[in-house]
Structure 1
Amino acid sequence: MSEKISTDKAPKPVGLYPHARKVGNLLFLSGIGPRTVTDEIPGLKLDKNGNFLEFDFEAQCRNVFDNVRIVLEESGSSWDKLVDVTVFLVNMKRDFAVYNKVYAEYFKDNQPCRTTVEINSLPTSIAIELKCIATID
């Protein structure tokens, strides 16, 4: 049996899926990005044509990690119970060093397995998304 988990404290999914699903003692998080609950993207301002006016990748990193923490806690798990993190970046050359620096701050004590891949794009104008697995009691 599995249990779907959604919360209004994290950004709404951009499709028909829950924030997380509990199966046994594992918690699988859907892809989570840096959008806020009001659908803003931290560190990003676009002109009317969709071109960057401002871009702060570090702000996106911090917010995506905060969003993951919210979903974990709302699901009955916690940051220290993360066991696997898959990270999707839309520009590895530009963003990896910043991402790696911020990641080291957030994961100093808990060091889950990690995979980082570059992709062409994400469904919204975000530059990072995380897919996580954690344990849950």
Structure 2
Amino acid sequence: MTTRIPHPGRRAVTTAGAPAPAGGYSQGIAAGPYLFTSGFGPQDPVTGELGGTIEEQTRQVLANVSALLAADGLTLDDVVKATVHLHDLHRDFAGFDRVYREHFGDPRPVRTTVGSVLMNILVEIDVVALRRTV
């Protein structure tokens, strides 16, 4: 077994305010001025419940992302890139985009939105946020 030496410019960011990882990954990694999040689904971190509509699920995903950002002193205003996976891209894009626009002001982050086979959820989002420097 090898001993791993932590990278000095990299640290894990975690919160109980978002779902715990379901596998071998971190909720988030801060590296330099950036925070990279894992993909968050729409699970309520307390109850584990999912909303039934794309709008409900998108709101919960963004609440989960916001909770992790807050754990590192950031907000959705600090997000510079979002990657979105929709289980049914054609059916759900408009509803997802409507809720997404409610949460991000101008200039909105760059975004990639793709159709993906997701496990019993409609949407998953990961983001990259940039720490403000003075």
TM-score normalised by structure 1 residue count:
0.84
Deviations 1:19-57 (A, max 9, x none): 1000000000011111011211122xxxxxxxxxxxx22
Return the match for 2:118 from 114, 117, 121: 121
Return the match for 2:81 from 66, 80, 84: 84
1:12 corresponds to? 20
Deviations 1:67-118 (A, max 9, x none): 1111100122111100000000010111001011111111134511011000
Partner of 1:28, secondary structure, is strand
Partner of 2:81, secondary structure, is strand
Identity, % of aligned positions? 37
Q: Is the 8 A contact 2:76 2:103 kept in 1?
A: no
Question: Residue 134 in 1 paired to residue 132 in 2?
Answer: no
The structure richer in strand per residue is 1
TM-score normalised by structure 2 residue count:
0.86
List alignment gaps of at least 5 residues for structure 1: 44-55
1:42 corresponds to? 51
Alignment of 1:43-122 (within 5 A): 43=52, 56-122=53-119
Question: What is the CA-CA distance between 1:136 and the residue it aligns to?
Answer: 2.2
Q: Is the 8 A contact 1:20 1:75 kept in 2?
A: no
- How many Å separate the matches in 1 of 2:23 and 2:81? 23
- Counterpart of 1:96, as a letter, is F
List alignment gaps of at least 5 residues for structure 2: 1-8
User: Aligned pair count?
Assistant: 123
- Runs of 4 or more above 6 Å deviation: none
Q: Is the 8 A contact 1:41 1:60 kept in 2?
A: yes
1:28 corresponds to? 36
Q: Is the 8 A contact 1:2 1:24 kept in 2?
A: yes
Q: Is the 8 A contact 1:80 1:110 kept in 2?
A: no
**Backbone CA RMSD of aligned residues:** 1.3
- How many Å separate the matches in 1 of 2:115 and 2:103? 21
